[in-house]
A and B are shown apart, each in its own frame.
Chain A
Amino acid sequence: MIVAERKPLAEILEMVKDCKKILVLACRGCVTVCSAGGEREAEILASLVRLGLKKNGCRAEVIEGSLVRQCDKEYIDAIDEWQGQYDAILSTACGVGVNFIANLRPTDNVYPALNTTFFGGSAEQGVWSEQCAGCGNCVLHLTGGLCPVARCAKSLMNGPCGGSVDGHCEINPSVDCVWQMIYDRMGRLDRRQELTAAAPIRDWSTAGHGGPRKRIRDDLTV
């Protein structure tokens, strides 16, 4: 899922300080699962925005709504339901959702309530960790399923580096060295021999360095 977290309240209040009718719009997709922007968090945010604006002497009506997802045209169209009831949308979706509203609602003001942080998973209740960076050329078959792009601080393809100490990364001892994990795991899988081949210099053009990426599946287009 896409993992995100609420922006500092002061930043959000500054964005919407001149708005008179604000629709706090939740997304029932990824950000619900990572407890950043689902209906529950949007309700809390709407309350905080009402309180914060009132404290700052701003008068605004703040209403709440939600979409199944904000990254899908058919769901964005459902914003029509609140037509006339808002002059700004404060989206609690990830950046994709905010972009989609901006793409598809040419005259709607939209503001991001979240900082979109990474693609990750729920490690335990209340904890999410980064697992994939969407590099467009997956190498997990070479690394026992553990991602060196997202989980190595230097995105090394031939790790570990000299900064790996007792299984920890030199950037911070609380960070596991993913290359140590890869090495240990490949050993357990009896595949350590595969790690002796040096990975070639990588072509990063699939990783977004060639501009925005697009995927088209002809068999699904109409």
Chain B
Amino acid sequence: MSFTPDIRLFSCHYTSQQSCVGEGRELQELGFPENVRLSRVNCTGKLEEITLLKAFEDGADGVYVVGCPTDSCHNLQGSQRAAKRVEAVRQALGEMDVEPDRIRMYHLPRGLHPEFIDAAREMNQRIQEMGPSPF
């Protein structure tokens, strides 16, 4: 079944700089899926587990977090902290017999990089294959 998933992205300022170029038009021009809703946070280390869960409560079919590479986070350990919180939610989804891959952590380079678009497309495709959220 083909459907347009509701995907939420939480990204730090440093890895999502592309979203600011040309008032956001550049992302669209580069093929960033329109169904991915971006929330920028100062640092992904500030993200709480509850924020990720609320995204699912709010109807997200998939959620992902983009933070700096683990060994070069702008805020030292922020993206490592985020990865642990994402992992906690993955485990909770697993406990409910829901695909843990509905939430994923990406560590991407800072600045303007094609990987930012690739991650969105990959997530979009994965969630399309999984189908709508069971929640």
Contact B96 A9 (CB under 8 A): yes
Q: How far is the CA of A40 from the CA of B48 in the complex (A)?
A: 10
Contact A52 B53 (CB under 8 A): no
Q: How far is the CA of A13 from the CA of B53 in the complex (A)?
A: 17
Count of chain A residues with a beta carbon within 8 Å of a chain B beta carbon: 14
Q: Is B135 an interface residue when CB atoms closer than 8 A count as contact?
A: yes
Q: How far is the CA of A48 from the CA of B93 in the complex (A)?
A: 9
**Interface residue range, chain B:** 10 to 19
Q: How far is the CA of A162 from the CA of B82 in the complex (A)?
A: 45
Contact A44 B50 (CB under 8 A): yes
Q: Is A55 an interface residue when CB atoms closer than 8 A count as contact?
A: yes
Contacts of A47 in B (CB 8 A): 50, 53-54, 57
Q: What residue of chain A has the Cβ atom nearest to residue B98's Cβ?
A: A55
Q: Mark B65-84, 1 if CB is under 8 A from A, else 0.
A: 00000000000000000000
Contact B134 A44 (CB under 8 A): no
Q: How far is the CA of A51 from the CA of B96 in the complex (A)?
A: 9
Q: Mark A9-25, 1 if CB is under 8 A from B, else 0.
A: 11001000000000000
Q: How far is the CA of A54 from the CA of B57 in the complex (A)?
A: 10
A45 CB to closest chain B CB (Å) equals 10
Contacts of B92 in A (CB 8 A): 9, 48
Contact B96 A44 (CB under 8 A): no
On A, residues with C-beta under 8 Å from B are 8-10, 13, 40, 43-44, 47-48, 50-52, 54-55
